[in-house]
């Protein structure tokens, strides 16, 4: 279940800034048609911080309905309040999600003990596979490999989305946890290196616009075609991944989707439209890689 390319799907909005139900269906079809192995709604890329709880639940439900069991749906259900994360995770289970992506609590900067107790409580109360999401640049706290190794002893802590950017830390996770937990890259630019140390896939931003290529990097690697995997990664996935971070994610990827004619809509404040200089660079990349006509 936790192998391959999982897209951290954008949340499309209508012209009135409402959740675009038809757009979600179209995006799901685009992803599945192009080889994506799983869908992750309501992550950071899905602008979860600006979704109301009602909208959050609606996006999860719409995604599950659109996927219709064809690939796993791992719903973003994290919060910096354990009670709130429990509520969102419980809803995801009831709605039929295959798993939950739960970010380490942000802003309140818990200790390692607090991180452990947070995830332990959710894992013990909600019987659903949990993917721990570690992204210190956004949360202000880094889950250490030793803490993750403790969590890996709990039966439904099954994977980690590692976005620390620290390959040494990720290698230590593999060393400590072995097969007890699946390592997924949380950074598209590190996908190939993460696969090389034992990672099994990625929860990807750039897969919103090049799902087939990201999926192929992982598939070719898993099949032992390392040179082919490397070629796809270096020739397209890596440079486009860099372009997706000209500004704060998901500004560039959502802008790219709109330019490509995919359901997108505007960004919600406080995320602002791209600057003109960065937009010019982004368009040049999309043209270069055949995603936009020149």
pLDDT of residue 243: 97
Question: DSSP assignment, residue 183?
Answer: E
Burial of 286 (C-beta count, 10 Å sphere; 0-12/13-18/19+): buried
The pLDDT of residue 294: 76
Residue 87 to residues 61, 92, 98, Cα–Cα distance (Å): 15, 9, 16
Catalytic residue (choose from 133, 236, 238, 283): 133
Q: For position 183, what pLDDT does the model report?
A: 98
DSSP string over 194-228: HHHTT--EEEESGGGT-HHHHHHHHHHHHTT-HHH
Phi, psi of 202 (to 5 degrees): -150, 145
Contact 216, 192 (CB under 8 A): no
Q: Give burial (CB, 10 Å; 0-12/13-18/19+) of 192.
A: buried
Q: Is 161 a catalytic residue?
A: yes
The 10 Å CB-count burial string (b at 16+, else e) for 98-135 is bbbbbbbbbeeebeeebbbebbeebbeebebbbbbbbb
Residue 66 CA, chain-centre distance (Å), reads 18
Q: Which residues pair with residue 75 across a beta bridge?
A: 100
Q: Cβ(144)–Cβ(113) under 8 Å?
A: no
Residue 76, helix vs strand vs coil: strand
Predicted confidence at residue 240, as pLDDT, reads 98
The CATH homologous superfamily of the domain defined by 4-244: Aldolase class I (3.20.20.70)
Q: Which residues contact 184 (CB under 8 A, 6 or more apart)?
A: 2, 6, 131, 159, 160, 161, 162, 194, 199, 200, 201, 202, 203
The domain ranges of the chain are: 4-244
Of 2, 58, 116, 161, catalytic: 161
* pLDDT per 10-residue tile (average), the chain, 294 residues: 94 95 98 98 96 97 98 97 97 98 96 98 97 96 97 96 97 96 97 97 98 98 98 98 97 98 96 97 97 89
Two tokens at 169? 């830390």
Size (the chain), residues: 294
- Indicate the pTM of the whole model: 0.95
Confidence (pLDDT) at 255: 98
């Amino acid at each position: 279940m936790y192998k391959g390319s999982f897209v951290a799907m954008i949340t499309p909005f209508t012209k009135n800034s409402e959740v675009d139900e038809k757009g979600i269906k179209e995006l799901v079809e685009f992803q599945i048609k192009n080889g994506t192995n799983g869908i992750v709604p309501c992550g950071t890329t899905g602008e979860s911080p600006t979704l109301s709880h009602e909208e959050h639940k609606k996006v999860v439900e719409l995604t599950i309905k659109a996927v219709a069991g064809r690939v796993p749906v791992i719903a973003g259900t994290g919060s910096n309040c354990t009670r709130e994360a429990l509520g969102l995770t419980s809803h995801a289970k009831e709605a039929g999600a295959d798993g939950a992506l739960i970010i380490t609590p942000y802003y309140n900067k818990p200790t390692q003990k607090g991180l452990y107790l947070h995830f332990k409580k959710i894992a013990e109360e909600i019987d659903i596979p949990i993917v721990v999401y570690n992204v210190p640049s956004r949360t202000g706290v880094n889950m250490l490999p030793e803490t993750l190794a403790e969590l890996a002893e709990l039966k439904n802590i099954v994977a980690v989305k590692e976005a620390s950017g620290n390959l040494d830390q990720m290698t230590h996770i593999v060393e400590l946890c072995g097969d007890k937990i699946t390592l997924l890259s949380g950074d598209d630019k590190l996908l190939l290196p993460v696969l090389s140390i034992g990672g099994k896939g990625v929860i990807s931003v750039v897969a919103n616009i090049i799902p087939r290529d990201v999926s192929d990097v992982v598939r070719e690697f898993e099949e032992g075609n390392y040179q082919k995997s490397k070629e796809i990664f270096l020739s397209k996935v890596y440079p486009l991944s860099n372009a997706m971070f000209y500004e704060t994610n998901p500004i560039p990827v959502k802008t790219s989707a709109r330019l490509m004619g995919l359901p997108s809509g505007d960004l919600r404040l406080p995320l602002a439209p791209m600057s003109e200089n960065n937009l010019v660079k982004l368009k040049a990349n999309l043209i270069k890689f055949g995603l936009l006509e020149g």
